[in-house]
Amino acid sequence: MFGGSNPAALAARFAQVAEAYVADSPAERADRARRALLAAVQAHEPASLNQVASAVERGAPAVSRSIDVLVRAGLIERTADPDNRRRLAMRLTQSGRELLSRPCASGGALAARFQRLAPSELRAIERAVEILERP
Cβ atoms < 10 Å from Cβ of 49 = 18
Residue 125, SS3 per DSSP: helix
* Average pLDDT of the segment spanning 31-55: 92
Q: Is the pLDDT of residue 34 over 80?
A: yes
Q: Is the pLDDT of residue 1 over 60?
A: no
CA distances for 44 relative to 47, 54, 117, 135, angstroms: 5, 11, 38, 16
Q: Where along the chain do its domains lie?
A: 22-104, 106-135
Strands (E), the chain: 76-81, 84-92
The CATH number for 22-104, chosen from 1.10.3720.10, 2.160.10.10, 1.10.10.10, 1.10.150.170, is 1.10.10.10
Q: Give CA 5 to chain center in angstroms.
A: 28
User: pLDDT tens-digit profile of 76-127?
Assistant: 999 987 777 788 899 999 999 999 888 776 556 677 788 898 999 989 988 9
